[in-house]
Amino acid sequence: KFGDNARAEGLDRESGVVSHVDLFPSVFDHLLGYEPFELFDGRSIFSPDKKPFALTGRFNGPRAPEEFFIFDGEKKTTFRILDRKTLEIRSLRDRQGRTLPIPSTHPFPSSLLQ
């Protein structure tokens, strides 16, 4: 909750997607009335052009993440990076956490891997 919460009144709090990286941009936006920095990966929860998904990775200390997920408010897909050219879909779940069938997968075009 930010102050009197007036700016949050028009937000869709049920289906909106917010990530932890949206926290500081939202605080600055609340305090200053705008987002003063472009260096943040997230966007203010009050921004009309905020991204409709959340992306996060599973880190193990200083090493690069081997797993990450994308959540669009309806479905959460978990991926595992097996090697430089192989991305495995680990799971696909709906908003309630129920497992969904994983559609057929195809390798990425080689042009995307360069």
pLDDT digits (tens, 9 = 90+) for 66-96: 899 999 889 999 999 888 888 888 999 999 9
> Does residue 41 surpass a pLDDT of 60?
yes
8 Å CB contact between 22 and 43: yes
In tens, the pLDDT along 29-40 reads: 888 888 888 888
Give me the mean pLDDT over the 4-11 stretch. 70
Tokens of 83: 């090697």
> Does residue 114 surpass a pLDDT of 50?
no
Calpha distance 24→71 (Å, rounded): 20
Backbone angles phi, psi at 104, to 5 degrees: -55, 140
Query: pTM of this prediction?
Result: 0.64
Amino acid at 98: R
8 Å CB contact between 29 and 35: yes
